[in-house]
Structure 1
């Protein structure tokens, strides 16, 4: 059974529905590295960081068994037909940053009520933004992006790149491209606090 947080307690989080985002082929950025550099996403450093992030989120009850859950709300592509979102500060490797955890639910018959009653049955993926230290990716708010499957393993794009790091940076599609359309300058759709 999940811990519950009321909509009033998470009013800022409940409205984080993402509009118009796509993630199919990622345009030109398949995460490829150039000589002497790490790929923008899906490389060994990004994958290791994503694994540490998942572990920290588990310890904070943000993902996994008995995780905190907000009130489910109607979602849309690319995330899911129903979503629930939690946002809070979290420390990882000595850095305190904000994490936004969006659980993406789907399947035939999915509804907000069905998700509230049995979230594990409908969970398809978990998308995460974690605000890293200054200098990580200043052009994009220093956000680390990851898309996990329900078991905590990383999802992959059509080029078989694991979705962790500066996902699709420089592309016209994907996490960063979509979130650059958010109002304000923090790449978050619901508010401009970061």
Structure 2
């Protein structure tokens, strides 16, 4: 009597092959993401950056009034305000770009000027970090805040991920929660 049922061998082989493919697929997706996606350090860094931006009056209730314009480019708002400059976070001074994204049905620049709080959807920030942070992407730290300074998050592969760190450049706000 044979140890293996030869009729079932092709099915077992296919099932084993499918299992290996699944494991490799999951590992290849999770591996690269796990070292740079909304980590606890990124979340803490984003909170510290928000505090600096508030102090510099680039965000928050005492932010300087800027001139809005029609941006109309995804993933940012239909109407935008953009400010840039150099800020100091800890021992590092870096260039920062702050984009205020305004959204609404048939929104205009005049609507935003009349009531910024009503239309402000999110604030996208790029901060040039120290050399070696992310050389592949020129050391940019990316973060997307809600108007109150909380972080947006997105779902990837069943995980809730803070929109902070090295991932922002490939993220779509359409999936933000």
- Give the TM-score normalised by structure 2: 0.73
What's 1:3 paired with?
none
- Give the TM-score normalised by structure 1: 0.67
What's 1:165 paired with?
165
What's 1:116 paired with?
113
How many residues get paired? 140
Q: What is the deviation of 1:70? A: 2.2
More helix by share: 2
Q: Structure 1: which 5+ runs fail to align?
A: 1-27, 34-38, 176-194
SS of the residue 1:115 aligns to? helix
SS of the residue 2:107 aligns to? coil
Say which structure, 1 or 2, has more relative contact order (CA 8 Å, 6+ apart): 1
> Does residue 80 of the first structure (1) align with residue 95 of the second (2)?
no
What's 2:4 paired with?
none
Q: Residues 6-46 of structure 1: CA distance to partner in whole angstroms, max 9, x if unpaired? A: xxxxxxxxxxxxxxxxxxxxxx579732xxxxx31211000
Larger Rg: 2
1: CA distance, partners of 2:143 / 2:166: 9
Mapping for residues 81-160 of structure 1, pairs under 5 Å = 81-159=78-156, 160=160
- Following superposition, which runs of at least 4 residues in structure 1 exceed 6 angstroms of deviation? none
What's 2:16 paired with?
none
Q: CA RMSD in A?
A: 1.9
Residue from 26, 31, 41 that aligns with 1:45: 41
Q: What is the deviation of 1:157? A: 1.5
More strand by share: 2
